Chains A and B, each alone.
Chain A
């Protein structure tokens, strides 16, 4: 593979291939920032990949009290799925089981769009007839009596059909320690970019996957080309000096936000340099035929 070298780090001449997804956003608030985060983390747990979790979800950013509808500390959460019906199903289940149940929580639309998904309109039945609809101007809320007061929830939230899932960076290094250090730095840089999430644990996937498997019915399997223990066997993509590979997967509300996130991540890794960080940066794709969005690493360099 042809490569460029920037600040001593090899950058593959390749691209990340990403797909159109359905997405929505929520603003979750609570008495304090810690409980808002707790509700958001619970809700976005087990949401690393649409392959096994139904949706990909994560925290976009922490909101100041003056940015939330009720003036309390909050967190903005993004959810991505492959279809509107699956997104609706996941939204309903996750808000119902994880946000409704969290002490002092309230849940508001985090995305304004013409097309709507049911939010409170789905969860309201928990109220068993005691739920109250309140409409102030264009906004309709559901008030559901719960044991610490009322759970307040917007009736609907916006749906985006033009969100992008699957932006990625593959970080390759000499040791687990340096590779992880570089990847963590990239995650930190990407976290500052609005409208994107990194759904894997702490933003990082160590088990990058390829489509399909030798086994019937297994939809995804280990990306053997990037497994350092398989170097020399089969079609390894790794150089002799690479012994650790990590991947950051990025979902964004717009293609521009995914590009901005990848740019921030790549630049952070390059700035750290090869001694303390990564030796090589790559990206995952399927030959370019499956996904409608291509992010070439060479376009993201400083």
Chain B
């Protein structure tokens, strides 16, 4: 069956809350019911039918033709099915996602995958700041699932992450994995200053090193570990190049000793 398609009519006049347009919410609804769903974030009412031309299909596969930096909370809370967006999206893409697949062809704003518990989020462009991170007042960020960023990630990717995996094929800005509780972050490109800032547990792989490492990380030498081999096996389906690199020996840095110091950063065996 062909997917359910939302084609953007014009650039939205206000930020939109697209959280209602997930397979969980749309399965079994008629076209008129879907068109009547409210998406506004201001006092001006906006219905799905106003913003999008709707082509009915299997609601377990939803496609957005066209994107906008104003597409907020896309795929938020989804637990099944697939959602794909041709272009950019705004804040909190895949926020509290519980399952299924969300694919963004363009860039995503801040807090993508925030508090995600399962499923996969692929961002083909760049991700904004605080990828997977908690919103103000929350104590835990990403709790499971996989996030793949083909471009670069903003500051504090994986902030307060508890479980799951973030793969960044480009670079990551400052404080990647800040305050990590556990989980795994792999960055193919260079990371900004202070990766793993105040991390408790968890693993960060900085494949091209970082701009500045906190002095509260200690060097435990270069090791060829099965842990990175097993990681490679898992990463293979998402990013074969990163998987191949993971099989090499890595320098293991323990920290952040400013807190409990049970986390680790794998960095190139020769410092750079």
Contact = CB atoms under 8 A, between A and B. Distances in A.
A149 interface: yes
B270 interface: no
B223 interface: yes
A34 B227 CA distance: 22
Interface residues of A, number: 17
A152 B233 CA distance: 15
Interface in A239-276: none
A143 B266 CA distance: 15
A219 interface: no
A49 B193 CA distance: 60
B225 A149 contact: yes
Contacts of A143: 227
- Chain B interface residue number, banded: 20 to 34
Interface string A137-150: 10101010000011
Contact of B226 (A130, A136, A152): A152
B233 to A, nearest CB: 7
B221 to A, nearest CB: 11
Nearest to A131: B262
A132 B165 CA distance: 15
B233 A136 contact: yes
Contacts of A137: 146, 234
- A interface, by DSSP: helix, strand, loop or mixed? strand
B225 A133 contact: no
A279 interface: no
- B interface, by DSSP: helix, strand, loop or mixed? mixed
Nearest to B263: A132
A298 interface: no
Nearest to B231: A136
Given A132-B262, A135-B163, A149-B223, A141 B230 contact: yes
Contact of A71 (B203, B229, B231): B229
A70 interface: yes
A70 B226 CA distance: 7
B230 A134 contact: yes
Interface in A23-46: none
Contacts of B223: 149
A69 interface: yes
Interface string B224-257: 1111011101100000000000000000000000
A136 B232 CA distance: 10
Contact of B227 (A71, A130, A134): A134
A154 to B, nearest CB: 10
A145 to B, nearest CB: 10
Nearest to A104: B226
Given A134-B184, A134-B203, A69 B233 contact: yes
A132 B201 contact: yes
Contacts of A134: 184, 203, 227, 230-231
Nearest to B237: A137
A150 B226 contact: yes
Given A149-B225, A150-B225, A133 B230 contact: no
A155 interface: no
Contacts of B180: none
B151 to A, nearest CB: 23
Interface string B31-54: 000000000000000000000000
A106 interface: yes
B4 interface: no
Contacts of A141: 227, 230
Nearest to A106: B226
Contacts of A133: 182
Contacts of B182: 133
B262 A136 contact: no
A130 B220 CA distance: 14
B225 A70 contact: no
A134 B231 CA distance: 9
A134 B182 CA distance: 9
Interface string A152-174: 10000000000000000000000
Interface of B: 146, 163-165, 182, 184, 201, 203, 223-227, 229-231, 233-234, 262, 264
Given A136-B165, A137-B234, 5 more contacts: A134-B230, A134-B231, A149-B224, A150-B227, A152-B227
A-B pairs, 8 with minimum CB distance: A136-B234, A152-B226, A70-B226, A70-B229, A143-B227, A106-B226, A137-B234, A150-B225
